[in-house]
């Protein structure tokens, strides 16, 4: 849906905002899967960023409507089959986006507000071109490269050490040469150098020449080629692909050689790393000038860039700013404008998702947009098709930025007869319904709809849920068709159900053998032990996504406490959780109030060993406690105080109850303070909180050093 056709966020009513957040959650999840899982994106970078921006603006205006599966809580890429998993010692976060000068100004104003700086206080910013490639983390111990990994989902990546060793730009060892920042200092014991792996235009052209000569398909663009090359199981293939690397940040480190971001980059350069070129800006005008200069010259670069990244230079400020959900507060990406092309709509198909949503997808006459051949685009919903007059045969303008497949911007020439949205599910024939205030049609068949059942099961075994090796979409579909897996619990009864249904042993099925069957049963057995947050997310409850799965698991910590919270009269307790709105709370209660769903749940947990969520470090006296901030904080911002509390393992709530452990009262505290005093809840002032949190943060840092 183009920006011109959207209702401005300021004009949205509550029902409209709810519908928009639902649409955006689905859209972004769909496009994340296409980009990260398949290296085959389904919309443009610019339009993807607009989806996330609109989602964030609506959530800011309607915080109570924030969905459990909100994109603002998600960050993600898959773990490729064939690679060992690596847990990042520090999460690899993604970046928020700026689209214009106003956004850049807001970024700086937000930093000043968070840090409580004077309005005219200078903020030095490192500005660097954003390379369009694949993020990687390189771990060095005493100057020796010991392990390399992809970003993955931000917390767990793929071990691609052998492949990274083939890249000439990546040093196998490094030492201080006595020149540059950090001269004469001992090499840090541990440092994780983070940067971008990419392919130059020349290397990309050569690779595609080789592909054609070998009668193999060409790669669509350098980013996909780099991703495919880095994920080869044979390092010799990676070595032949002429990949490059530029360092731009770091993860775990025992000691930093400088107190600024630019200083650390200078040290890395002195150690032998190729560092992304950058500039220091001290105003919005300088940042915009640098952005304009880089955008004007992007076509002359030997590799693709799709924007500029701005980072706060002072590291002590970076530490204070921390991260908000999926991205750091101290950095933002300012994207370049999109590229456009015209093509023809050859057909419109309807896909059925796991929640029953009917999603129209345009089949396009293949067209090249900025070097990428694209052939389809999501059409979102019925209103989008009607408002844009999208019809079969229409000539449409599509756009892309970076390396992703476009979406329709506008109709240039009309097509044939108007498209009639189906009133029955194309998968099962059940009636399709569109509730008042909703933009989507949904199949009413529920779990009796094969498409929904299969999609729910696919979600259940997806990488951020149970992540069972060897059990993907193809296998789930086959097991469902055979009648051996029709509910999540059946996965853990697979061997017995195959026998009960009088099927041949799995090893005798087409595409299976004794080894692959044994490996699958072993993988299923391994995943009987599952963390509570993954279990909650795996259920696929509408409005309850990965972020809220973690939020609920941290709040209740054990399976028993989570189940106890699902009583029909427990709505208010759920609403008291900071970050859980009415949609999420009612979605949970409605799901478990359904007898069929409860039966599926009981069967499933009977097969599992659900792991409690680990409590935060016991050295912090507030770990596991529920805190409430009220009143005006004068020495720190509310956002920084909340972030510090959560970093110490506390739970921050928006309301005071008998289960509140502590209230931090700032100036002019009102009803929450009075309620805390009436309930006998411990109350401290801002100064006491700052002293307590500073001491505990220092203790925790000392423990981990």
Task: Compute the distance between CA of residue 561 and CA of residue 353 in angstroms, rounded to an integer.
Answer: 31
- Average pLDDT taken over every residue of the chain: 85
Give the pLDDT of residue 582.
84
Are 311 and 126 spatial neighbours (Cβ–Cβ below 8 Å)? Answer: yes
One CATH from 3.30.470.30, 3.40.50.2300, 3.40.190.10, 3.40.50.720 for 85-335: 3.30.470.30
Residue 408 three-state SS:
strand
Task: Please tell me the distance from the alpha carbon of residue 370 to that of residue 137, in angstroms, as a whole number.
Answer: 29
What is the pLDDT at residue 179?
43
Decide: 403 and 372 in contact? Cβ < 8 Å.
yes
Q: Of 462, 464, 398, 404, nearest to 40 (Cα)?
A: 404
182 pLDDT band (50/70/90 cuts)? very low
- Bridging pattern class, strands 682-685 and 662-665: parallel
Mean per-residue pLDDT, 239-260? 94
Number of CB atoms found within 10 A of residue 560's CB: 11
Q: Is 130 a catalytic residue?
A: yes
The rounded distance, in Å, linking the Cα atoms of 618 and 457 is 38
Tell me which fold the domain 445-527 belongs to.
Answer: DNA polymerase; domain 1 (1.10.150)
What's the pLDDT band for 680 if we cut at 50, 70, 90? very high
Pairwise CA distance, residues 95 & 309, whole Å: 9
The one catalytic residue in 84, 85, 116, 130 is 130
Residue 301 backbone phi and psi in degrees, to 5: -75, 150
CATH class of 626-704: alpha beta
CA 110 to chain CA centroid, nearest Å: 22
**Angle, helices 473-481/450-460, rounded to nearest 10 degrees:** 130
Q: How far apart are CA 396 and CA 501, in angstroms?
A: 51
Residue 229 has pLDDT above 70, yes or no: yes
pLDDT over 70 percentage in the chain: 89
What pairs with residue 308 in β-bridges? 129, 334
CB 391 within 8 A of CB 347: no
Is the pLDDT confidence value at 703 over 60? Answer: no
Q: Are strands 85-87 and 156-158 parallel, antiparallel or unpaired?
A: antiparallel
Selected residue with higher pLDDT from 171 and 638: 171
Question: Over the stretch 500-551, which tens digit does the pLDDT of each residue have?
Answer: 988 999 999 988 999 999 999 999 999 999 999 999 999 888 788 888 888 8
Q: What is the DSSP string of 498-544?
A: HHHTTPPPGGGSTT--HHHHHHHHHHHHHTTEEEHHHHHHHT--TT-
**Total length of the chain:** 705
Are the C-beta atoms of 562 and 611 separated by less than 8 Å?
A: no
Dihedral angle at the C-alpha atoms of 391, 393, 394, 397, nearest 10 degrees?
120
Q: For 531-611, CATH number?
A: 1.10.150.20
Interval 20-38: pLDDT, tens: 888 888 778 777 766 655 4
Q: What angle do CA 400, 39, 473 make, to 5 degrees?
A: 125
For residues 439 and 432, give the distance between their C-alpha atoms in angstroms, rounded to a whole number: 13
Could you check whether 445-527 and 531-611 share the same CATH topology? yes
Closest CA to 178 of 251, 273, 272, 263: 272
The end-to-end CA distance of the chain, in Å, is: 50
Q: Which residue has the tokens 């004009």?
A: 11
> Is domain 3-74+338-433 in CATH 3.40.50.1370, yes or no?
no
Residue 600's contacts (CB-CB under 8 Å, 6 or more residues apart) are 487, 488, 489
Give one DSSP letter per residue of 645-677, joined into a string.
Answer: HHHTT-EEBSS--TT--EEEE-BT--HHHHHHH
Give 288's pLDDT tier (boundaries 50, 70, 90): very high
CA-CA distance, 125 to 261, in Å (whole number)? 9
CA-CA distance, 2 to 412, in Å (whole number)?
Answer: 14
Tell me the CA distances in angstroms from 465 to 365, 498, 538, one per residue in order. 36, 24, 5
d(CA 179, CA 101): 38
**Extents of the domains making up the chain:** 3-74+338-433, 85-335, 445-527, 531-611, 626-704
Task: Please tell me the distance from the alpha carbon of residue 334 to that of residue 49, in angstroms, as a whole number.
Answer: 10
Amino acid 405: pLDDT: 52
For residue 704, the model assigns a pLDDT of: 44
The two beta strands, 529-531 and 609-611, are: parallel
The CA distance from 591 to 599, in Å, is 11
Which residues have CB under 8 Å from 109's CB, separation 6+?
A: none
Residues 417 and 385: their CA atoms lie apart, in Å, by 12
């Amino acid at each position: 849906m183009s920006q011109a056709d959207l209702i401005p966020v300021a004009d949205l009513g509550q029902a409209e905002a709810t519908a928009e957040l639902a649409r955006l959650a689905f859209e972004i999840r769909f496009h994340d899967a296409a980009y990260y899982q398949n290296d085959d994106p389904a919309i443009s970078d610019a339009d993807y960023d607009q989806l996330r921006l609109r989602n964030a603006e609506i959530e800011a205006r309607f915080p109570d409507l924030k969905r459990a599966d909100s994109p603002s809580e998600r960050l993600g890429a898959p773990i490729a089959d064939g690679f060992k998993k690596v847990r990042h010692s520090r999460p690899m976060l993604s970046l928020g986006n700026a689209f214009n000068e106003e956004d850049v100004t807001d970024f700086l104003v937000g930093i000043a507000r968070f840090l409580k700086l004077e309005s005219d206080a200078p903020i030095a910013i490192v500005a660097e071109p954003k390379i369009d490639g694949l993020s990687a983390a390189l771990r060095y111990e005493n100057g020796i490269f010991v392990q390399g990994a992809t970003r993955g989902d931000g917390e767990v990546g793929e071990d691609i050490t052998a492949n990274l060793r083939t890249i000439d730009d990546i040093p196998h060892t490094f030492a201080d040469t006595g020149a540059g920042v950090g001269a004469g200092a001992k090499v840090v014991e541990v440092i994780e150098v983070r940067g971008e792996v990419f392919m130059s235009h020349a290397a990309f052209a050569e690779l595609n020449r080789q592909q054609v000569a070998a009668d193999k398909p060409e790669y669509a663009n350098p980013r996909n080629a780099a991703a495919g090359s880095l994920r080869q199981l044979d390092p010799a293939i990676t070595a032949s692909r002429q990949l490059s690397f530029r360092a731009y940040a770091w993860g775990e480190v025992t000691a930093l050689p400088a107190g600024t971001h630019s200083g650390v980059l200078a040290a890395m350069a002195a150690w032998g790393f190729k560092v992304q070129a950058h500039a220091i800006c001290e105003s919005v005008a300088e940042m915009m000038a640098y952005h304009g200069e880089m955008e004007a010259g992007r076509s002359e670069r030997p590799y693709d860039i799709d924007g500029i990244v701005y980072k706060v230079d002072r590291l002590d400020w970076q530490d204070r700013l921390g991260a908000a959900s999926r991205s750091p507060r101290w950095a933002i990406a300012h994207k370049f404008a999109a590229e456009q092309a015209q093509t023809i709509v050859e057909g419109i198909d309807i896909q059925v998702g796991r929640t029953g949503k009917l999603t129209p997808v345009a089949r396009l006459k293949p067209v090249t947009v900025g070097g990428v051949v694209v052939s389809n685009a999501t059409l979102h919903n019925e209103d989008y098709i009607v408002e844009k007059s999208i019809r079969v045969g229409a000539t449409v303008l599509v756009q892309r930025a970076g390396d992703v497949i476009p979406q329709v911007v506008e109709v240039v020439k009309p097509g044939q007869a108007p498209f009639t949205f189906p009133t029955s599910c194309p998968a099962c024939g059940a009636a399709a319904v569109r509730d008042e205030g909703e933009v989507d049609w949904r199949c009413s068949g529920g779990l009796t709809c094969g498409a929904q059942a299969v999609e729910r099961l696919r979600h259940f075994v997806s990488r951020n849920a149970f992540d069972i090796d060897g059990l993907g979409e193809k296998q789930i579909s086959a097991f469902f068709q055979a009648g051996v897996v029709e509910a999540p619990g059946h996965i853990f009864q697979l061997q017995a159900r195959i026998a009960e249904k009088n099927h041949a042993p799995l090893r005798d099925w087409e595409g299976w053998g004794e080894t692959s069957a044994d490996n699958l049963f072993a993988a299923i057995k391994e995943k009987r032990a599952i963390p509570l947050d993954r279990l909650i997310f795996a259920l696929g409850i509408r409005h309850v996504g990965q972020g809220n799965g973690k939020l609920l698991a941290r709040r209740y910590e054990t399976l028993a406490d989570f189940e106890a919270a699902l009583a029909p009269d427990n709505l208010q307790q759920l609403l008291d959780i900071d970050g859980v709105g009415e949609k999420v709370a009612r979605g949970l209660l409605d799901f478990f109030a359904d007898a069929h769903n409860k039966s599926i749940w009981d069967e499933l947990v009977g097969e599992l060993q659900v792991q409690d969520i680990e409590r935060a470090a016991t050295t912090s006296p507030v770990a596991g406690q529920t805190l409430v901030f009220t009143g005006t904080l004068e020495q720190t911002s509310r956002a920084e105080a909340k972030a510090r509390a959560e970093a110490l393992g506390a739970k921050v709530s928006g309301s005071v109850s008998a289960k509140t452990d502590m209230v931090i009262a700032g100036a002019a505290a009102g009803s929450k303070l009075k309620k805390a005093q009436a309930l006998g809840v411990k109350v401290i002032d801002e100064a006491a909180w700052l002293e307590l949190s500073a001491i505990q943060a220092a203790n925790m840092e000392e423990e981990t050093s």
